[in-house]
Every structure is written in C-alpha cells, then in structure tokens.
Amino acid sequence: MRYPREMRPFVVASLVLGLFVVPVAALAAPAPSPSATATAGAAAPARDGGVIEGRVTNVDYQRGVVTVDSTTQGRVDVSTMPSTSVQSDDPGYHTLTDVSKGSKVQIFISKTAGKVIAQIIRLIKH
C-alpha cells in the first residue's frame, strides 16, 4: 500500500479541491486588453526613407536625436534606436557617441508615422 489508510481521505479531498480551485482562479483573472501602441504600430508600418547626406549640426544623446543639415532636404531631425548601426572606415566598434557636431554623415533612414528613424549612420571622412 502506498499511503496509510488515514491519508486516503486527505489525498482524495486535495484532488477534489484542486479540480475546482484551478478553473475558478483562471476564470477570475482579467483578460488582457490590447495595448494602444501595438495597434498604432500596426496602422503605420515602417517604410524605406532613402538616404540623407550632410553635416551634423546637433546631437542630443539623451533623446537619441541627430540633427543633420542636408543639401537636398534641409535641416532634418533623425531619431536613433538601440539597433541603429554606426559605421566608419576606422577599425573597431562605433556608437552614437562617435557622432558629433560637424561630422559628415550618410544616414540610411526609414519613416514611421511621420518620424525619421536612422537604421545606419555612416561617418564620412573629411
């Protein structure tokens, strides 16, 4: 015998309670509601924005925004993301801190909901 005769009522009672408590707890949990940002992102898919070339006039490292004075598009604020790649002919790994006022850049962008997002920032030697 696996359980002594005294334990059988407790085991049966636990199983019966478990059958009723688990489904009731699942029904009591609130259903997740869709987030507003998820639906807004689906409404405005990212699209290729081309390339912006020019000189950096300002870099806001806190907000992750690079302002570029382009000869073809004028002054453009370009947002960066953690996935934005910074490239240069210099060897090594590059980050947004390598982009500074006066840098000549070529930025490959995408546009989402009217916002210009940098995918790749290429630093051009003077």
Average confidence score pLDDT of the chain: 79
- Residue 66: pLDDT above 80? yes
Domain, as residue range, for 24: 8-40
* Residues 65, 31 share a domain: no
72 pLDDT band (50/70/90 cuts)? confident
Pair 48, 118: CB distance under 8 Å: no
* E strand residue ranges, the chain: 47-60, 65-70, 74-79, 85-87, 104-112, 115-124
Reported as a single tens digit per residue, the pLDDT across 78-91 is 999 999 999 999 99
The fraction of the chain above a pLDDT of 90, given in percent, is: 51
Same domain, residue pair 36 and 62: no
Question: Could you tell me if 58 and 116 lie in one domain?
Answer: yes
Helix (H) / strand (E) containing 43: helix 36-43
Based on the structure, what is the number of domains in the chain? 2
- Give mean pLDDT, residues 22-42: 51
Query: Is the separation of the CB atoms in 93 and 112 below 8 Å?
Result: no
Q: List pLDDT tens digits, range 2-17.
A: 555 555 665 666 655 5
Residue 3 resides in a domain = no
- Same domain as 77, residue 32: no
Q: Are residues 29 and 82 in the same domain?
A: no
- Cα–Cα distances (Å) from 59 to 54, 82, 98, in that order, read 14, 15, 10
**31 and 89 fall within a common domain:** no
Residues found in the chain: 126
Report the pLDDT value the prediction gives residue 74, as an integer from 0 to 100.
92
pLDDT at 126 exceeding the cut of 60: yes
The answer to whether position 2 is within a domain reads no
Quote the tokens at residue 105.
């850049």
More confident residue, 113 or 76: 76
* Closest to 80 in 3D by CA, of 98, 126, 41, 102: 98
72 plus 98 within the same structural domain? yes
- Is residue 53 a contact partner of residue 60, using CB atoms and an 8 Å limit? no
Let me know whether 71 and 119 are in one domain: yes
Instruction: Name the band, by pLDDT with cuts 50, 70 and 90, for residue 125.
Output: confident
